[in-house]
Each structure stands twice: as C-alpha cells, then as structure tokens.
Amino acid sequence: MSAGALISEAEFKLSMRQLAGAVSVITVGDGQDRSGFTATSVSSFSAERPSVIVSVNRASSSWPLLQRYGCFCVNVLAADQQQVAQSFAGFDGRKGAERYNGAEWYCLKTGAAALENALTVLDCELETVLHHHSHAVLIGHIRAIEIRQGIGPLLYWQGGYHELPVEDHRRILAKPLRQ
Ligand SMILES: Cc1cc2nc3c(=O)[nH]c(=O)nc-3n(C[C@H](O)[C@H](O)[C@H](O)COP(=O)(O)O)c2cc1C
C-alpha cells in the first residue's frame, strides 16, 4: 500500500476485475512509426460535439506517438477479434508496427489505422489531454465513424475475454434501431 492510500493496489485490482468492459484497440502513428494498445477505458463523452475519452499509461509506447501525431483510432473489437486484442496488449511479445500484422487496416480521415471488420471505428483528432499521475485522459473529437452489423462485442471480465452468447446478440440486434 502506498503512503496515504486507504486501499491497497491488490484490493483495487480485485474490484476492477468485477467491471466488465468492451475491448478496443487504440491505433496511433504511421508506417513503421506506429504502435497502439488494447484498452477497456474507452467511454462515450459527448454527442453534441461527438467525442470519446480514453485513458493511457504515459509509460506506454503509444504515448509519445499520441503527442506527436495528435490523432488516433478507437477500434471497438468484435467477438471474433480476440487475437488483435492479445497482440495490442503486448501479450505475444510484438512491439510497435509488428502488432498490426495478421489483420487488415485502412484509413478514414485522420490517417490513424482503422481495423477492418471492427464492431465500430471512431477516427479521432486528439483535442484535450488531462494529466494525472502515471496516466493521461485523452479526449478525442470524432471525425469519422464505421459500423459493422451482425456480430456481438468482445468483452473483458475477471481477467479474461468473453462473448455474449450468440442467441443473446441475435435477439438484441433484431430489435429495431432507435436514434
Ligand atoms: C483488457 C485490457 C485492457 C487494457 N486497457 C488499457 C487502457 O485502458 N489504457 C492503457 O493505457 N493500457 C491498457 N491496457 C494495457 C495495454 O494494452 C498494454 O500495456 C500496452 O499495449 C503495452 O504497452 P507498450 O505499447 O508500451 O508495450 C489494457 C490491457 C488489457 C489486456
């Protein structure tokens, strides 16, 4: 437990294991000068000025690229994209541009890489950065969006990847869309 902390890091991690999250891959940079990371910290921020927030560890390889390029893509992963999540979490030892191998990518508006067949892609201009201890909160203004229909999300819960049962997401997707 660090000085002044009321709860331990271990206790915090146990609590966070209970928080189910959608899994996204944040891409940043260009050509060989690129990296990215798997993230569950993505959240909707504002519809009026379409924007999202993401928190990033400033020790990660993506941080200097985010500062330099000023844009990123949030690729929300579909249930069949667990391999991409593993790669961008660094679990298979791949670094930087190598993490992009084995999946198809394209560009929308900002130049950051959009993942083919992601559940949704949010192409963002980095508008605001809030620094807090080891991490930064990024506010991204969305410049372009792609949406894939017909498949459920990849979820992270209790330290592992999960999918909604096929029957559940079929039933949910069968409901008429409400704006
Ligand atoms: C499910 C999951 C969610 C994660 N969420 C975040 C996140 O929101 N922000 C973050 O900075 N790192 C997050 N990470 C860790 C990064 O993906 C990982 O540390 C990063 O890819 C490695 O940094 P590197 O590029 O310096 O090797 C998460 C990892 C996993 C497996």
pLDDT digits (tens, 9 = 90+) for 38-87: 999 999 999 999 999 999 999 999 999 999 999 999 999 999 999 999 99
Check if 154 has its Cβ closer than 6 Å to any atom of ligand 1: no
Examine residue 7 and state whether it is found in any structural domain, yes or no.
no
Across the beta sheet with 71-76, the strand order is 33-39, 24-30, 71-76, 120-132, 135-147, 51-57, 43-46
Looking at the CA of residue 39, tell me the nearest atom of ligand 1: 5
Examine residue 15 and state whether it is found in any structural domain, yes or no.
no
Check if 27 has its Cβ closer than 6 Å to any atom of ligand 1: no
Number of structural domains (the chain) is 1
| Spatial CA neighbour of 118 closest among 60, 29, 38, 61 | 38
pLDDT digits (tens, 9 = 90+) for 131-155: 999 999 999 999 999 999 889 999 9
Is 58 in contact with 117 (CB distance < 8 Å)? no
Examine residue 143 and state whether it is found in any structural domain, yes or no.
yes
Of all residues in the chain, what percent carry a pLDDT higher than 70? 97
Looking at the CA of residue 54, tell me the nearest atom of ligand 1: 8
pLDDT score, position 165: 80
Examine residue 164 and state whether it is found in any structural domain, yes or no.
yes
Examine residue 123 and state whether it is found in any structural domain, yes or no.
yes
Examine residue 8 and state whether it is found in any structural domain, yes or no.
no
Q: What's the CA-to-centroid distance between 26 and ligand 1, angstroms?
A: 9
Looking at the CA of residue 86, tell me the nearest atom of ligand 1: 31
Domain with residue 168: its CATH number is 2.30.110.10
Q: What's the CA-to-centroid distance between 56 and ligand 1, angstroms?
A: 8
Q: Which of 24, 34, 55, 57 to mutate to test the pocket of ligand 1 (most atoms within 8 A of CB)?
A: 57
Examine residue 30 and state whether it is found in any structural domain, yes or no.
yes
The model's confidence at residue 3, banded by pLDDT at 50, 70 and 90, is: low
Q: What's the CA-to-centroid distance between 169 and ligand 1, angstroms?
A: 27
pLDDT score, position 4: 62
Check if 39 has its Cβ closer than 6 Å to any atom of ligand 1: yes
Examine residue 47 and state whether it is found in any structural domain, yes or no.
yes
pTM of the shown model: 0.95
Boundaries of domain holding 77: 21-174
Is 58 in contact with 135 (CB distance < 8 Å)? yes
Is 99 in contact with 86 (CB distance < 8 Å)? no
Residue 23, Cβ density class (10 Å: 0-12 exposed, 13-18 middle, ≥19 buried): buried
